[in-house]
Amino acid sequence: MTEIIDQRVGNESHIYAHITLILKDGSVADSSRANGKPSVIEIGNDTISEAMEEHLLGLKVGDTTKFTLPAKDAFGEPDPNLVQFMDVQQFPQDLELKEGSVVSFEQPNGSSVPGILSEVRGHSVKVDFNHPLAGHEVTFEIEILSIDKPPTTH
């Protein structure tokens, strides 16, 4: 006889889910359904806010949930320290410096981080490294596809 385990989201769960992010005006900011590739949410490692974790704990595979979080619990408030001014000469000459464009910046460790060109004036470019949804109230629509526990280390 096979025992069916009613696995629920708990501390340290890895959740595979379809997520749709909806802004206050009703527009869809992003959706994993658009590219057909589920998102991974990790519980208990500070990658998402405690408020978001609270909405997910106890859910099981097949469950759907919809909740709205204020900016501080969604993608955070904008951090003025993440806005930098750069000289136009620091950009490739063939790159069109257009306000609102997202540019990938390589970090010293080889990873890249996106920055939004929020202002181009003369030789100065204002680059915002805050998450594009920082400062926004966001409604999350989430469908739990699968739940895994992380591998145990001995």
pLDDT averaged over every residue in the chain: 90
pTM of the predicted model as reported, rounded to 2 decimal places: 0.79
Q: Is residue 63 pLDDT above 80, yes or no?
A: yes
CATH, domain range 80-128: 2.40.10.330
Domain 14-76+133-148 has CATH 3.10.50.40: yes
For the chain, give every domain's residue range. 14-76+133-148, 80-128
pLDDT in tens, 74-91: 999 999 999 999 999 999
**Start-to-end Cα distance in the chain:** 31
